[in-house]
Amino acid sequence: MQEGQRFTSAAHAVLIDNRLLRWLGMFVQTAARRIVFFPGFAAPFDRLAGHGNPKPAYDVEFTLDHVTLDADHREWHLSKKVGEKPHRAAGKTIDVGEGSPQPAHPRRHG
């Protein structure tokens, strides 16, 4: 993602947990049709570890800034701050079709 890249929409991600509102982060959709999640960590997230299988296991320093779902929605990657390299491939997505069906009676909030 280029610095200053325009986004077309944005949404805060929150969770209500035991009557407490917890901020998880923010999703944006870029003009290039990528979906980007900026996590709302309280402290720096500075390591990545993976179990391997089939690739080798790893545990590396990596200060996460955001997670990007590519425009084709088939792959996603992890990024450090804008302009810092390298990005880290995070794998392929799983096709879930059209998602879950809408409930017969939508739940009302409040």
The per-residue pLDDT for 62 is: 87
pLDDT digits (tens, 9 = 90+) for 49-99: 888 777 788 888 888 899 999 999 899 999 987 677 778 888 888 887 776
The per-residue pLDDT for 14 is: 93
The per-residue pLDDT for 95 is: 81
The per-residue pLDDT for 1 is: 46
Place of tokens 């901020």: 23
This prediction has a pTM of: 0.72
Domain range summary for the chain, segments of one domain joined by +: 7-92
